[in-house]
């Protein structure tokens, strides 16, 4: 029997799994495929780090290196320090004997504990599993449905004032970058003033990039954007990626927090020092630290006064709760937040809940140039038309921790001023003159992923017969080295008749957007970070969500990793479910990923029965979209559980009417029963709504309680269990 590994993860998609997976297994086992789970949730990883559970993530890291590896990966928490501490507290409350997270280690033992927990912070899962490059695109049925049923994009106002602000050639990562390609395997050492910071075993053909963010230039930039926001009468917002860039971006976030509330931080500097307040962790952590202190009320009043003063307004994460842009470093994640700015007509929300034009502050110009052009395009040409716009497909250089997303072990907040050197076997490869507090990092991009990236680009370009654009900038050191390799590796393939171009970020954005406005499709061939930004921006505009994208990772070893979209709003979904039993998470991403996973196994094994099962699931997915069976946002209306029922019903009907006689005979009575008992099942599902739910934990639910809450229809359960 073939095997698919379904990741057990966090929050809303984890809850949905309790309902969906029994259905999936009941169908797939009929065609010789078993779906098993692997716990890579934040709680699971915490317990593994403390030696109290199997290290399932490491095991999956071995699976992706196998030729038949097949994994469906749902969205998982990229934990901030605050989330990690909350998860630890919950596990302790459940009786697990694990230590607190030592934020400021006082001895070697606490340093060791912090290091163990550190592997759970940020995007710990993706770099392990992504042993292949990314193929992301909208399924044809999903794109057609979006065009026939266009979601709302808000018009830009007349004479719009919104814009993106970024550093321009004055101390950011882009302008300070240097890049080299290694000619042989060697140990590479990073040192500050001759003192080793770390070393890595690098391999021949690998591209190494070194760069740094000048904190002095960063703070000058922040101060100017705050003044400009005030002068332009727009609200100020900071957009970073503290989840993936878990070392550098929280530091930049902290500097922004201090810059915006400069007078408050100056006034209370002694108190904040006394309480070990770390601005990198945001307002939520600061409030915990000052709780009960004699100056708590005064400090809170000063922050509130700053928000109410004539300084620029600050964008809010949740106006109703008074949660600002600075609540926590990972509350605002750039690839999810910037599409909302474009979608809402260049606006964000102020303290009153009003949508107001904004300046989106993105310090590093490397990727800010994309967002600046996206916003400028709409300022110039108006909002997109969902009913007619074309699509952006993406081939992303993602394998083996490519680019900045793999830079955590080689990122440093410099303790002193001086020279950072990167030294290889034959001497110094790169050197940088830096100041104390600057953020220095080295990124790595290996040769095998680049070869595979080029292969995948040629393959998809020929299949789609549309232009493909490599987003490579002749003025960026890293891109120069990558293009040298791409030029060589393209010669290994037949590119006759293909339209393959090279453009810098701004030009590529303009080219893609012009085609999209004409209803034409384009393949964007990008590095790992741009992949992340593009594959949220365009799908959110085109489809209303990035969760509806096909996200396929053809693994270099021969297997497949199938990702199921983004989970940005999942925490709110959980809050609603716990309060009233209604889960509005849309599992379409899981349905689509499962179809691609099954298709992969069927094609690899030339399995006609599996091909029939997959074709029926394709039909079920079409039915799900055509009949508008996605979950409602409102309690008392069909939710995620109901959507799973309808997919099961459509899947069974398609099998009953299909060409495989054995599957038709098996599923005809199932389809009949699911159809005849629809009213009973829906009544049972809806009867469970409107009541608080106890699943035993937010980060670490009790499986029995969660399954009971997510499978409330005895009638449906009996039908599925008897297949």
Which residues on adjacent β-strands are paired with residue 525?
Answer: 395, 470
Q: Quote the percentage of the chain above a pLDDT of 90.
A: 91
Q: Quote the percentage of the chain above a pLDDT of 70.
A: 99
| pLDDT tens string 33-67 | 999 999 999 999 999 999 999 999 999 999 999 99
Coil, strand, or helix at residue 122?
Answer: strand
Instruction: List Cβ neighbours of 545 (8 Å cut-off, separation of 6 or more).
Output: 539, 565, 566, 586
The pLDDT value recorded for residue 140 is 86
The pLDDT value recorded for residue 127 is 87
How far apart CA 70 and CA 563 sit, in angstroms, is 11
Cβ atoms of residues 335 and 241 within 8 Å: yes
Nearest to 620 by CA among 650, 594, 649: 650
DSSP H or E run through 88: helix 81-93
Average pLDDT over every residue of 535-551: 91
Q: Which of 123-132, 347-356, 575-584 has the lowest mean pLDDT?
A: 123-132
pLDDT band of residue 244 (cuts 50, 70, 90) is confident
Using CA atoms, how far residue 380 sits from 160, 373, 514, in Å, is: 9, 10, 12
How far apart CA 52 and CA 262 sit, in angstroms, is 44
Burial class (CB in 10 A: 0-12, 13-18, 19+), 270: exposed
Which residues on adjacent β-strands are paired with residue 361?
Answer: 165, 238
The pLDDT value recorded for residue 342 is 98
Backbone angles phi, psi at 190, to 5 degrees: -105, 130
Q: Which residue has the tokens 């882009």?
A: 174
How far apart CA 291 and CA 660 sit, in angstroms, is 66
Coil, strand, or helix at residue 621?
Answer: helix
Cβ atoms of residues 38 and 60 within 8 Å: yes
The pLDDT value recorded for residue 310 is 76
DSSP class of residue 635?
T
How far apart CA 718 and CA 722 sit, in angstroms, is 6
Cβ atoms of residues 632 and 576 within 8 Å: no
Alpha helices, H only, 528-639 = 528-542, 570-580, 588-605, 608-626
Burial class (CB in 10 A: 0-12, 13-18, 19+), 273: exposed
| pLDDT tens string 663-686 | 999 999 999 999 999 999 999 999
DSSP class of residue 705?
H
Average pLDDT over every residue of 572-578: 94
Instruction: List Cβ neighbours of 279 (8 Å cut-off, separation of 6 or more).
Output: 253, 254, 255, 257, 258, 265, 286
Backbone angles phi, psi at 513, to 5 degrees: -70, -35
Cβ atoms of residues 189 and 442 within 8 Å: no
Strands lying side by side in the sheet with 178-181: 178-181, 207-213, 439-445, 411-413
Residue 569 reports pLDDT greater than 60: no
Farthest CA pair distance, the chain: 78
Nearest to 124 by CA among 224, 25, 244, 248: 244
């Amino acid at each position: 029997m073939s095997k698919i590994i379904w990741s057990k993860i966090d929050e809303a998609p984890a809850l949905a799994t309790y309902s969906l997976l029994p259905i999936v297994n009941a169908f797939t086992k009929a065609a010789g495929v078993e779906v098993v789970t692997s716990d890579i949730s934040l709680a699971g990883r915490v317990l593994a780090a403390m030696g109290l559970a199997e290290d399932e993530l490491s095991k999956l890291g071995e699976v992706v290196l196998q030729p038949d590896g097949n994994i469906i990966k749902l969205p998982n928490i990229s934990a901030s320090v605050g989330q990690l501490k909350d998860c630890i507290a919950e596990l302790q409350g459940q009786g697990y004997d694990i230590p607190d997270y030592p934020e400021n280690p006082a001895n070697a033992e606490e340093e060791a504990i912090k290091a163990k927990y550190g592997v759970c912070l940020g995007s710990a899962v993706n770099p392990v599993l992504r042993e292949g490059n990314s193929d992301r695109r909208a399924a044809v049925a999903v794109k057609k449905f979006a065009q026939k049923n266009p979601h709302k994009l808000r018009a830009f106002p007349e004479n719009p004032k919104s814009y993106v602000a970024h550093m321009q050639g004055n101390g950011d990562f882009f302008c300070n970058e240097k890049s080299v390609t290694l000619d042989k395997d060697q140990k590479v050492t990073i040192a500050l003033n001759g003192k080793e910071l770390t070393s890595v075993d690098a391999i021949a053909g690998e591209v190494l990039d070194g760069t740094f963010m000048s904190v002095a230039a960063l703070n000058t930039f922040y101060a100017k954007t705050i003044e400009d926001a005030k002068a332009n009468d727009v609200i100020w917002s900071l957009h970073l990626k503290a989840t993936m860039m878990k070392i550098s971006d929280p530091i930049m976030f902290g500097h922004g927090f201090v810059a915006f509330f400069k007078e408050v931080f100056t006034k209370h500097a002694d108190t904040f020092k006394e309480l070990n307040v770390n601005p990198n962790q945001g307002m939520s952590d600061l409030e915990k630290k000052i709780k009960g202190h004699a100056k708590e009320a005064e400090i809170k009043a000063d922050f509130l006064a700053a928000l109410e003063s004539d300084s620029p307004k600050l964008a809010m994460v949740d106006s109703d709760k008074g949660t600002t842009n600075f609540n926590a470093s990972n509350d605002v994640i750039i690839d999810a937040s910037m599409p909302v700015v474009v979608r809402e007509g260049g606006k964000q929300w102020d303290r009153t809940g009003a949508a107001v034009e904004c300046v989106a502050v993105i310090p590093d110009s490397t990727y800010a140039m994309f967002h600046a052009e996206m916003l400028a395009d709409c300022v110039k040409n108006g909002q997109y038309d969902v009913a007619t716009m074309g699509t952006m497909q993406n081939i992303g250089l993602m394998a083996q921790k490519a680019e900045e997303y793999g830079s955590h072990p080689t990122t440093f907040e410099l303790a002193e001023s001086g020279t950072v050197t990167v030294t290889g076997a034959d001497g110094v490869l790169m050197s940088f003159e830096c100041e104390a507090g600057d953020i220095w990092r080295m990124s790595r991009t290996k040769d095998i992923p680049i070869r595979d990236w080029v292969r995948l680009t040629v393959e998809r370009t020929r299949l789609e017969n549309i232009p493909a654009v490599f987003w490579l900038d002749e003025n960026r050191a890293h891109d120069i080295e990558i293009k040298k390799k791409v030029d060589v590796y393209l010669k290994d393939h037949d590119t006759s008749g293909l339209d393959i171009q090279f453009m810098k970020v701004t030009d590529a954005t303009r080219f893609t957007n012009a085609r999209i406005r004409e209803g034409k499709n384009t393949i964007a061939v990008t590095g790992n970070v741009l992949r992340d930004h593009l594959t949220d921006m365009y799908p959110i505009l085109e489809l209303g969500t990035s969760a509806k994208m096909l996200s396929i990772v053809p693994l270099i070893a021969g297997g497949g990793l199938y990702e199921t979209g983004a989970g940005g709003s999942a925490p709110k979904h959980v809050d609603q479910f716990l309060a009233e039993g209604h889960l509005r998470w849309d599992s379409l991403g899981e349905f689509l990923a499962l179809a691609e996973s099954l298709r992969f196994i069927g094609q690899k094994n030339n399995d006609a029965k599996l091909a029939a099962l997959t074709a029926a699931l394709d039909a079920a997915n079409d039915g799900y979209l055509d009949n508008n069976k996605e979950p409602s946002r409102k309690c008392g209306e069909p939710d995620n559980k109901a959507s799973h029922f309808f997919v099961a019903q459509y899947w069974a009907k398609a099998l009953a009417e299909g060409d495989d006689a054995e599957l038709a005979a098996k599923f005809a009575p199932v389809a009949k029963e699911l159809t005849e008992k629809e009213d009973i099942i829906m009544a049972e599902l809806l009867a469970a709504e409107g009541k608080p739910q106890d699943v035993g934990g937010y980060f670490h639910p009790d499986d029995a309680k969660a399954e009971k809450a997510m499978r409330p229809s005895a009638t449906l359960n009996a039908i599925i269990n008897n297949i």
